[in-house]
A and B are shown apart, each in its own frame.
Chain A
């Protein structure tokens, strides 16, 4: 057992040393700048990510007037929140929000390629670009939702929204029941990218 762990640690240490040496060499040669790597990563970690979408959803949950504005003019409502640079710019203007409600469930797909509101939802999961998911999402959304663990009753209407380069949809999921005691920040922590794609519901964590 301990030998196995030693082996794994050794592999990790070797890979880490190699990456460090590689980065140092490339910086010394002037191939990249000393801050290039951090700059690129910072975009993924702080500028574009599902945390933005979660903030928007939480605000919509606590402020019905904001929610109405979000559904009426999504880019304008997003701009109100003063999120990181780029959120209300060229990409933000393509986004449109739809809200789940009793009797209505929304599902986002992209039949053409993989258009996705990445500033809001971060990086799309691998299955989003899967041709089978895309095709079945249009043909039999209820069956697809059931497989994702979202049973939708016959009385509930399923709306499927097809994202494109012109319009990138995202879902405002329903606020979970019995969440009145949570503040906006705590509510944002519950929101997942999957729920903003319509393939998951939000539930309060079990206490």
Chain B
């Protein structure tokens, strides 16, 4: 059931510059990973691992950092990239994630997929 938490989380984002993109009132995702990421942030906060406001402040910070990057080094705008950065940061702040651990997992996944690719080719 839709709870007070979702209502609070949704309403607390509205009208802010971190308000997620929407189309006809629905959340707009162009890629599956964006949908997973959004759900991950909500699920973690709902489970009480951090206050939604803590995440929101990180998101505002991440957006603001992007805005201040010099044009030469500024990657094209991507709302959910900022969202991902904010989530990783809030998880670090709450000792729920060690970025080395995430990095190790990424390398491991990458090498697994490379192995699979080679097998497929063979």
Hey, which bits of chain A sit against chain B, CB under 8 A? 8, 11-12, 15-26, 29, 31-32, 36-41, 43-44, 47-50, 85-86, 89, 91, 113-114, 116, 118-119, 121-130, 192-194
Contact = CB atoms under 8 A, between A and B. Distances in A.
Contact of A122 (B25, B35, B102, B105): B25
B49 to A, nearest CB: 6
B25 A37 contact: no
Nearest to A197: B25
Nearest to B32: A16
Contacts of B110: 17
Interface string B1-21: 110001100110011000100
Contact of B24 (A11, A36, A194): A194
Contacts of B44: 26, 31-32
Interface of B: 1-2, 6-7, 10-11, 14-15, 19, 22, 24-27, 31-33, 35-40, 42-44, 46-47, 49, 75-76, 78, 80-81, 84, 87-88, 91, 96-97, 101-102, 105-106, 109-110
B102 A41 contact: no
Given A21-B105, A43-B6, A122-B25, A26 B37 contact: no
A32 B4 CA distance: 19
A18 B106 contact: yes
A44 B35 CA distance: 11
A24 B49 CA distance: 17
Given A125-B22, A193-B24, A25 B102 contact: yes
24 contacts: A8-B76, A16-B33, A17-B109, A18-B84, A21-B106, A23-B40, A26-B40, A36-B43, A36-B46, A40-B39, A41-B38, A41-B39, A43-B6, A48-B6, A49-B26, A50-B24, A114-B11, A123-B27, A126-B14, A126-B22, A130-B15, A193-B24, A194-B24, A194-B25
